[in-house]
Amino acid sequence: MVTLVYHKKLSEELEIMVSKISNKLGIQLIARAKNEFYSSGNGFLEDIIEGTDITLYQTDQSFYQPNHFMMPRMVQKVIQMIKKPKDLLELYCGSGTFTIPMSRCFNKVFATENNRASITYLNKSINKNKVTNVLQSRISDTELTEAFNGRKFRRMGEINLSDYDFSHVLVDPPRSGLNENVTDILNKFKNIIYIS
């Protein structure tokens, strides 16, 4: 999947050209301009983690592990590191690169992510893989800190953090890294998995 971003309106001529190039290269091409979207395919990427039966979905509007060779190895390495799992807290879960595989290792998973598109495709992956032990909420790391301190968020619905017995926390933060509030949360955990 390749996205082209334009600073002018998309034309019919451009859409025809995008379709031709897409067919010739065997890839999905997306053209975006302000309030405009054209895709030579369905607008999202379907990916199966190598060596598994896990299907993930991704959009061009959020982060995804781009190294197709390393991503399955990263997932397998994390799984090998897990000892005595109970419940998992995952921050910056994206569209579920680690969430879906980790759901097979833990009793319950609570996954958080601030990007709306990522949450949409995480839910698509949850449904496709018939995962029943993952709950997610579109909240930021700062809001999660507030939730641990008792604040209620409508976006968390009926999710109650006290219903979890977290044995592990997994963080795969953005380039900016972890803020001080998240570091305070991590200090409460014995088992921290940090993807960088």
* pLDDT tens readout for residues 90-102: 999 999 999 999 9
| Nearest residue to 59 (alpha-carbon basis) of 39, 41, 45, 71 | 45
| Residue that the structure tokens 């088992």 belong to | 191
| Nearest residue to 110 (alpha-carbon basis) of 77, 84, 147, 82 | 147
* Separation CA 167–CA 187 (nearest Å): 13
DSSP calls for 18-42: HHHHHHHHTS-EEEEETTEEEESSS
What pTM, to 2 d.p., does this model score? Answer: 0.87
| Class of domain 69-194 as given by CATH | alpha beta
* pLDDT tens readout for residues 183-193: 888 988 999 99
Average pLDDT, the chain: 90
Domain layout of the chain by residue ranges: 2-39, 69-194
